[in-house]
A = this chain, B = another copy of it.
Amino acid sequence: MNNINILFNLNTDSASKIYKKGTILQRAGDPSSHLYYVKKGLLKSYTIDKKGKEHIFMFAPEGWLMSDIESQEFNKEAVLFFECLEDSDLIKISKEQSTRDDLSKEQYLHMSSLLLRRVGVLQRRIIMLMSASAKERYEHFLETYPELPNRLPQRLIASYLGITPEALSKIRGEMLREK
């Protein structure tokens, strides 16, 4: 049994299922109802702003949990879209399963540890968005997630960084020339 089964009292692999690349698991505006644990594959979560532009909130490769905690926590409809970037093997976890309050001490410890880690990552992201240039954010992304760039189109990396594909392309051009 893997960690996530332990965490949510799931029985072995009952809920694991393969979703095709391009599958949209959740749409903004839907009632936000599930989390997804990625056994294999890659997901993105994103918002679409009022001009129709997509902004990546996060990627979830193997071992990550994809969730829309803002909407769950504030009881509003989903604010994020979830989509498979590759054929993905996922465990779908209902809101009820994830918010049950009859977990064991070990489970709570594990849950707290996951959440603390998440807060730490989000803190860094905010600080980078506020204080670093696009190029610095790109370099930080490459260092932090070295295995992701070769699984992602530039477009999506740019969106994660909060810039346009054109701006990222320019930065990459500069970095090549500098070397």
Measured CB to CB, the residues of A under 8 A from B are: 47, 49, 53, 55, 57, 68-70, 72-74, 79, 101, 103, 105, 108-109, 111-112, 115-127, 129-132, 162
Q: Which residue of B lies closest to A120 (CB)?
A: B73
What residues of chain B lie closer than 8 Å to A117, measured between beta carbons? 73
Known A-B contacts A109-B108, A119-B119, A123-B122; the reply to A130 vs B55 at CB < 8 A is: yes
Complexed CA–CA distance, A125 and B55 (Å): 13
Cβ–Cβ contact B120 & A118, under 8 A:
no
Known A-B contacts A108-B112, A126-B125, A129-B126; the reply to A119 vs B73 at CB < 8 A is: yes
Cβ–Cβ contact A55 & B127, under 8 A:
yes
What residues of chain B lie closer than 8 Å to A123, measured between beta carbons? 57, 68-70, 79, 122
Q: Which residue of B lies closest to A113 (CB)?
A: B73
Complexed CA–CA distance, A101 and B111 (Å): 12
Among B68, B120, B162, point to the contact of A129 (Cβ < 8 A): B162
Cβ–Cβ contact A131 & B73, under 8 A:
no
Min Cβ gap A56→B in Å is: 8
Cβ–Cβ contact B126 & A122, under 8 A:
yes
What residues of chain B lie closer than 8 Å to A112, measured between beta carbons? 108, 111-112, 115
Min Cβ gap A141→B in Å is: 14
Q: Which residue of B lies closest to A106 (CB)?
A: B101
Q: Which residue of B lies closest to A121 (CB)?
A: B70
Q: Which residue of B lies closest to A48 (CB)?
A: B131
Give 26 pairs: A residue, B residue, CB < 8 Å, sorted on A. A47-B131, A53-B131, A57-B126, A68-B123, A70-B119, A70-B121, A70-B123, A70-B124, A73-B116, A74-B120, A79-B123, A101-B109, A105-B105, A108-B111, A112-B115, A115-B115, A115-B119, A118-B119, A119-B119, A119-B122, A122-B122, A122-B126, A125-B126, A129-B129, A129-B130, A129-B162
